[in-house]
Amino acid sequence: MKIAVLIPCYNEELTISKVIGDFKKKLPNSDIYVYDNNSKDRTSEIARQSGAIIIKEPRQGKGNVVRSMFRDIDADYYVMVDGDDTYPAEFAKELLKPIIDGEADMTIGDRLSNGTYMSENKRAFHNFGNNLVKGLIGKLFKNDINDIMTGYRAFNKFFVKTMPVLSEGFEIETEMSIHALDKKFLLKEIPIDYRDRPEGSTSKLNTYKDGIKVLRTIVSLFKDYKPFPFFCVLSFISFIIGLLVGIPVILEFIDTSFITKLPSAVLALGFVLVSIVLLTNGIILDTLVKQHKQNYELFLNEFKIKNKAVDDKNE
């Protein structure tokens, strides 16, 4: 049983040694990989001295790092954790247990259930942002996941090797959660403690800039995964605007049998036609998405069969 601990890093020289040491104690037989994402400090040097395997990722952004991790590292089970020492290694085995027992394809380290994130996190609007993302994804994708954006997760090989990573930055956690929900992977949340960064360590997450990226990702993935309701909403809005613009024109025609508000009539007709086009697009794209899901299910079945054949051969 091969376990890989994946640690994406950017300028974490103050904390990386402790993170590596803690995970060595809790998972002594695991391989610890530190992916250095263009750090300007001694992160790589300290991580190497602490016994980790160092891999450089030149493309900036956490999503790019995770893409390389998932492509490059071959293991049976994976733990992904940030290098800032905010996630205690004591919970690593709890995250791995449902994966090893076959109860989950991905486990999520839930920072929000026990209240430690609310008390420890000192960054303004982060609690609001987490709740906003949780509420949006809960409504749009009909789920009750409590902590969508946590960076502490565990996976099996099945999930890692079939996850298409499209994000480039901090929106990667949101993408993984939505992908797992849409493709019916087994998910399980494990309540964990959270601690704030030590003094001198600074967050690389920009509350507003990265928050907007996350919200944009949610909208984009909603369009990609659920195009029919997405375009239905746009179609309804366009139709209502066309109706509001066109009502005076209709009333005038009923009263006088003439239309003098020609610009309003053309504008109303334009909005109604756009509404029809949007609805048609939604129907077509919804059919394509269903076909993609069918093909993806077949791909997952084929992956499992091939992987089992390799395992049997190795045994």
The string of pLDDT tens digits covering residues 284-302 is: 999 999 999 999 999 999 9
**201-259 confidence digits (pLDDT tens):** 666 666 667 678 888 888 988 999 999 999 999 999 999 999 999 999 999 888 888 88
Options 3.20.20.140, 3.30.56.10, 3.90.550.10, 2.60.40.1930; CATH of 3-224: 3.90.550.10
| Mean pLDDT of all residues in 271-289 | 96
Which one is predicted more confidently, 259 or 30? 30
pLDDT reported for residue 99: 97
Q: How confident is the model at residue 269 (pLDDT cuts 50, 70, 90)?
A: very high
Place of tokens 């610009």: 263
Q: Is the pLDDT of residue 125 over 60?
A: no
pLDDT above 60 for 151? yes
Query: Which pLDDT belongs to residue 118?
Result: 63
- What's the longest Cα–Cα distance across the chain? 88
What is the distance between the alpha carbons of residues 85 and 18, in angstroms, rounded to a whole number? 7
Mean pLDDT of 193-208: 72
Give the pLDDT band of residue 43 (cuts 50, 70, 90): very high
Instruction: Kindly list the domain boundaries of the chain, sorted by start residue.
Output: 3-224, 227-314
CA within 13 Å, CB half, 208: 0
How far are the Cα atoms of 9, 55, 64, 264, 266 from residue 58, in angstroms, in the given order?
12, 10, 9, 54, 53
pLDDT over 90 for what percent of the chain?
Answer: 69
Residue of higher predicted confidence among 122 and 153: 153
